[in-house]
Chain A
Amino acid sequence: DQQVKQNSPSLSVQEGRISILNCDYTNSMFDYFLWYKKYPAEGPTFLISISSIKDKNEDGRFTVFLNKSAKHLSLHIVPSQPGDSAVYFCAASAASNYQLIWGAGTKLIIKP
């Protein structure tokens, strides 16, 4: 049973517009959430995170929103740039350990 779900395998967005990537989770014990970005032939790289005590965290063009009641988080990228084309993974962790549980990823394609 997948505890972290990214239901959109791919997303296509026009350059300059907003990209919104979604992630749902089922385990109410998760209290820390992370987004990673992965280019082909490279390992995933950390992008942004959020603790369950917050509902928003912002870093430059990237903002993560957390809705605990809906067990849902989203990553907003504004404005989208060609270099943002990559696979984005959502991951979650519970305070009881440091392991990360990963979603299947969403491939973001930024169109010129």
Chain B
Amino acid sequence: DADVTQTPRNRITKTGKRIMLECSQTKGHDRMYWYRQDPGLGLRLIYYSFDVKDINKGEISDGYSVSRQAQAKFSLSLESAIPNQTALYFCATQGGMGYEQYFGPGTRLTVT
């Protein structure tokens, strides 16, 4: 089984709708991240959490919110989706003293 899972894998939604992307991990890592990937822009950080009680904004947090329900679960919400939030979204985990991040398979989100 995958260590980092994301649901859904693909989603098409309409402008103005609220949508939640979920991430779960079995690696036992404390640190979790949400990124979006756009062509030619690499990975940009949306939010990150160093433990259940610690949530921090990343580079591009406007229009997004997160919830860290447990050590293993970190959800990303788009309160009112807009077309320029169409992108590939990745969740990642990181643990201990290591810098390596471990990624989920991604969610392809399309906002029409």
Interface residues of A (CB under 8 A from B): 4, 6, 9, 32, 34, 41-46, 49, 89, 91, 93, 98-100, 102-105
Q: Are A43 and B48 in contact (CB under 8 A)?
A: no
Per-residue CB contact flags for chain B residues 40-55 toward chain A (1 = under 8 Å, else 0) read: 1111110010100000
B103 interface neighbour in A6, A45, A99, Cβ under 8 Å: A45
Which chain B positions have C-beta within 8 A of A44? Answer: 43, 90, 103
A-B contacts, 11 listed (Cβ < 8 Å): A4-B42, A34-B100, A43-B4, A43-B104, A43-B105, A44-B90, A49-B100, A91-B43, A98-B94, A104-B41, A104-B42
A42 interface neighbour in B33, B42, B100, B105, Cβ under 8 Å: B105
Q: Are A46 and B101 in contact (CB under 8 A)?
A: yes
Residues 75-112 of B at the A interface (beta carbon under 8 Å)? 90, 92, 94, 99-106
Give chain B's interface residue range (CB within 8 Å of chain A).
20 to 34
Which chain B positions have C-beta within 8 A of A6? Answer: 42
Given contacts A42-B105, A45-B103, contact A98 B31 (CB under 8 A): yes
Residues 22-65 of B at the A interface (beta carbon under 8 Å)? 31, 33, 40-45, 48, 50, 58
A61 to B58, CA, bound (A): 35
Smallest Cβ-Cβ distance to B94: which chain A residue:
A98
Determine the main DSSP class of A at the interface with B.
loop
Smallest Cβ-Cβ distance to B48: which chain A residue:
A99
Which chain A positions have C-beta within 8 A of B31? Answer: 98
A89 to B102, CA, bound (A): 14
Smallest Cβ-Cβ distance to A93: which chain B residue:
B99
Distance (whole angstroms) from the CB of A87 to the closest CB of chain B: 10
Q: Are B104 and A98 in contact (CB under 8 A)?
A: no
Residue from the set A4, A34, A45, A46 with the largest chain B CB neighbour count within 10 Å: A46
Q: Are B48 and A46 in contact (CB under 8 A)?
A: no
Q: Are A41 and B106 in contact (CB under 8 A)?
A: yes
- Which 10 residue pairs across A and B have the least CB separation, nearest first? A43-B103, A104-B42, A102-B42, A102-B43, A46-B100, A32-B99, A44-B103, A93-B99, A43-B105, A43-B104
